[in-house]
Amino acid sequence: METDESRIKSGLDKVFWLRVGLGILAGTISAIIGSTMLHAHERAYTGLGIVIVLFIISYGIAKSLRVPLPSSDKRKLIMTGIGSYFLMFLVSWILVYTIINPYISVGTVH
């Protein structure tokens, strides 16, 4: 039988990995949609919008997992995996955008 502590840890681990996956998804979607846009500011605003929307969705999913947190620790649902979420978003956005548009980076090196 699981203790409350192990159920909390298991639930927060699920939230963490959910956010890592959604961060990669947000970066990939931002790169694909952004590659069709001409201006850099449009790509930035689109990427920011996508990352915010998917983070809000991840919070809703985290709440639906019903992690048995005490009311004093409810902030953990927001903070768990937030750094990894944004890091994976940035890395995947840069990687996918570079793969889609290799001529941009190679042309500037020469």
In a domain, 109, yes or no: no
Calculate mean pLDDT across residues 91-101. Answer: 91
Nearest to 53 by CA among 25, 91, 83: 25
Token pair listed for 107: 């042309």
In a domain, 105, yes or no: no
Q: List, in sequence order, the alpha helices (H) in the chain.
A: 4-34, 40-64, 76-79, 82-100, 102-109
In a domain, 107, yes or no: no
What residue numbers bound the domain in which 19 lies?
Answer: 8-100
Total domain count for the chain? 1
Q: What is the pLDDT of residues 72-87, one digit of tens each?
A: 888 888 888 899 999 9
In a domain, 71, yes or no: yes
19, 87 in Cβ contact below 8 A? no
In a domain, 72, yes or no: yes
In a domain, 36, yes or no: yes
Q: What is the pLDDT of residues 24-83, one digit of tens each?
A: 999 999 999 988 877 778 888 999 999 999 999 999 998 898 888 888 888 888 888 899
Dihedral over Cα of 26, 49, 65, 88: its sign: positive
Token pair listed for 78: 């927001």
Q: How many CB atoms lie within 10 A of CB 47?
A: 21
